[in-house]
Amino acid sequence: MTQATRDRLHFALASFAAAMLALYISLAIGLPKPYWAVITVYIVSHPIAGAVRSKAIYRLLGTGLGAAASVVLVPHLVNAPDLLSLALALWVGACLAVAVLDRSPRSYIMMLAGYTAAIIGFPGVLQPAAIFDVALARAQEIGLGIVCATLVHSLWFPRPVGTVVRARLDAWLTEADQWALDLLRGGSAETLERDRSRLAGAASEIRQLATHLPYDTSRLRETTAVVQALQERLLRLIPLLASLSDRLTALRALRGAPDAETAAALAEVADWVASPGMDPQPLLQRLRQQAACVDRRDWTGLHRLSLLSRLLDLIEALDASRQLLAHLHAPERALPSPLAEVVARAKERPLHRDPGLAWRSGGAATLSILICCALWILGGWSAGDGAAVLAAVLCCLFATMDDPAPAMRAFGISLLLAVPLAAVYLFVLLPRVHDFVPLALVLAPTLVGLGMLMVSPQHALLSLSVNINFINSLALQDRLTWTFADFLNVNLAPFVGLLVALSVTRGLRSMGVETSARRLLRQTWDALARLAEGRGEREPLAFASRMTDRLGLLAPKLAASKDPALAGVSILSELRAGMDLVALRGLRARLSARNDSTLEPLLQALAAHYRARADRPRGPDAEADLLPLLDRTIYRLGTNPAETNAREVSALLGLRRSLFPDTPVPMTAQEVRA
């Protein structure tokens, strides 16, 4: 048996044990719907113990908020079913919109608050006087499932999230070192593309995993601020490495090959990257001395200064990352005081947000629920509340996808598999079972088998859906009273809810790969325009966080797109441009203090350029007068050491490379002024 198989079996057995514990306690204390506790166990379960605990906290909060909403709404509106349906639908839609805006694991709270109100509220319409008892019972059942899942996964050979995060950080920094070495030693274009694609995706994964650290049992939980500080260094490294690659390309275009002094500097930096224990200070001092002696009077000198600036930034960022990672492995070792201050200021950075997508998701959920309620109320269908409930659940569960329709269809397949399986259990196997132990043994093959598939990425969605639908269709209680007609009537409702949610989602919410990519690009260009105008993110790391998150979202979409207009788009180029604009803010403030407006026309032109791209993504790549204005500003500011430092020169050249990568630079002052 392989290690992967053992891990899957371990997770499946732990989840099954938690589910049976929840079912036993629910039956023993007489909860009305014990199967809700079992469903909750499988929804909360995760191979990493810290993720189980964080999901447990979020689910408890969301369940409590949703139960409170149903208790408030149902008694006051029960005599007006149309208004009650509208109120519950709007609640679900609003909660879902907030959850989609958040995009962190905490969004689970609002998502649960939305569809928990639907789960409790719609069936409660038939028993308005008992709505408080129903809400309390659902909260107890869900809470019991959460507690059982948390206990079992925390005590049964737990896999701490801290261990996983540390391993991911180790691997990430190793790959960052490899990208740097490939750049400095002239790796192939295919190798460099592979390096940066891996880093962007891994950065998003680490950020998501790290949100579970406060709930971990490992000692890494106490170093959450150190992990956040290390994440900040990682956010710097991606644009730094991309910018370094661009500077090397530009210098080779000017000279054919770096001069002997620059080549020696590249070799020294490569040797330092390959030797993690080497002190960086002597190398930093030599590079600073080289940068101070660079002749800025021509474009080659400016590009060489820019390259040295990026090498200095890279060494400092890598060195800080290595020290922070070493501290994670040995927390008893004190950090140097500058890094200790960085850790003290570290905080969670923002992610990309899409308000339009959030409100479209909420609107699709609201409309789906209202259509199901109309079929239920106007048709006098006794089990119609189940359709409204499932429509709410489906719209919430798959709202983060570009096109939720395929996932909803997969859920429909899971229904087709789960309902017949539940019928076999209900009418063939379970009538022969009269005690809890035989019941657990009969359920074990199905639940353990599905639990093993839940750990597999390619089977996770279908297996979890089959599992949940199987348990829900089974409706385990202290005694079986269903007739086959009741079973069919109740299990018809989910199919109706599925069809309605699928139809509305495809009409209002689904978008293709190209549409999603263009939407993200427009938001990126709008952010760059606001940054040039001085209205964007005030912190470089906040901007880098959002842009890196967009990079992780955009990379697979651009790779899958067949639209020729998107073929040449590089989000890394936009990320570099954004970081360059952030770097120019200090220069802008310094020049403004001296009433020097040299930089202002360029920033306004850049804002207009990115605003035009956001409004007309298929339009011309740049305005005709932007390039000469940019060149004049570089010549005016970049060639004067009293005006600009190396990082600001690098920012100005970086903007030119981002906007006009294939346009040759003017070689004389006369060409610049022309």
Of residues 582, 668, 661, the one with CA closest to residue 627: 661
Please tell me which of 146-150, 509-513, 568-572 the model is most confident about, judged by mean pLDDT: 146-150
pLDDT band at 214 (very low <50, low <70, confident <90, very high): low
How large is the average pLDDT for residues 323-349?
76
* Sequence-ordered list of residues with C-beta below 8 angstroms from that of 287, at least 6 positions apart, any chain: 265, 269, 308, 311, 312, 315
482 vs 329: which has the higher pLDDT: 329
Residues 224-238 have pLDDT tens digits of 777 777 777 776 787
Tokens representing residue 75 in the block = 């008694």
pLDDT at 21: 95
SS3 category, 622:
coil
By 3-state DSSP, what share of the chain in percent is helix, strand and coil, each rounded to 5? 80, 0, 20
Lowest mean pLDDT among 219-223, 284-288, 662-666: 219-223
pLDDT at 473: 86
Please tell me which of 368-372, 514-518, 530-534 the model is most confident about, judged by mean pLDDT: 368-372
Question: Exposure of 23 by Cβ count < 10 A (0-12 exposed, 13-18 middle, 19+ buried)?
Answer: buried
How large is the average pLDDT for residues 264-283?
89
Residues 347-373 have pLDDT tens digits of 666 777 888 888 999 999 999 999 999
pLDDT at 588: 80
pLDDT at 620: 47
How large is the average pLDDT for residues 539-561?
70
pLDDT of residue 672 exceeding 60, the answer is: no
Average pLDDT score over the chain: 81
pLDDT band at 669 (very low <50, low <70, confident <90, very high): very low
pLDDT of residue 32 exceeding 80, the answer is: yes
pLDDT of residue 220 exceeding 60, the answer is: no
pLDDT at 618: 46
Lowest mean pLDDT among 92-106, 260-274, 289-303: 289-303
pLDDT at 95: 94
Of residues 400, 331, 526, the one with CA closest to residue 111: 400
Alpha helices in 45-80, H assignment, sequence order: 49-77
How large is the average pLDDT for residues 103-111?
82
Q: What's this model's pTM, rounded to 2 decimal places?
A: 0.76
Over pLDDT 90: what percentage of the chain?
14
Residues 139-169 have pLDDT tens digits of 889 889 988 988 888 787 666 666 777 777 7
Phi-psi region of 550 (alpha: psi -120 to 50; beta: other; left: phi over 0): alpha
Tokens representing residue 118 in the block = 């639907």
How large is the average pLDDT for residues 8-35?
90
Residues 420-478 have pLDDT tens digits of 999 999 888 888 888 899 999 999 999 999 989 888 877 888 888 899 889 988 887 76
Phi-psi region of 475 (alpha: psi -120 to 50; beta: other; left: phi over 0): left
How far is residue 56's CA from residue 150's CA, in Å, rounded to a whole number?
Answer: 7
pLDDT band at 557 (very low <50, low <70, confident <90, very high): confident
pLDDT at 504: 93
pLDDT of residue 416 exceeding 70, the answer is: yes
418 vs 625: which has the higher pLDDT: 418
How far is residue 74's CA from residue 88's CA, in Å, rounded to a whole number?
Answer: 9
pLDDT at 133: 82
How far is residue 573's CA from residue 293's CA, in Å, rounded to a whole number?
Answer: 29
Number of neighbours of residue 24 by Cβ within 10 angstroms? 17
Tokens representing residue 447 in the block = 């639940």
How large is the average pLDDT for residues 622-636?
79
pLDDT band at 7 (very low <50, low <70, confident <90, very high): confident
CA distances 415 to 430, 496, 513, Å, are: 20, 12, 27
Tokens representing residue 514 in the block = 């190209």
pLDDT band at 285 (very low <50, low <70, confident <90, very high): very high
pLDDT at 619: 45
Which amino acid belongs to residue 582? V
List b or e across 317-353, with b for residues whose CB sees 16 or more CB atoms inside 10 angstroms. bbbbbbbbbebbeeeeeebeeebeebbeebeebbbbe
pLDDT of residue 11 exceeding 90, the answer is: no
pLDDT at 622: 47
* Sequence-ordered list of residues with C-beta below 8 angstroms from that of 269, at least 6 positions apart, any chain: 180, 184, 283, 287, 311, 314, 315
Q: What is the DSSP letter of 130?
A: G
137 vs 339: which has the higher pLDDT: 137
Lowest mean pLDDT among 254-263, 500-509, 522-531: 254-263
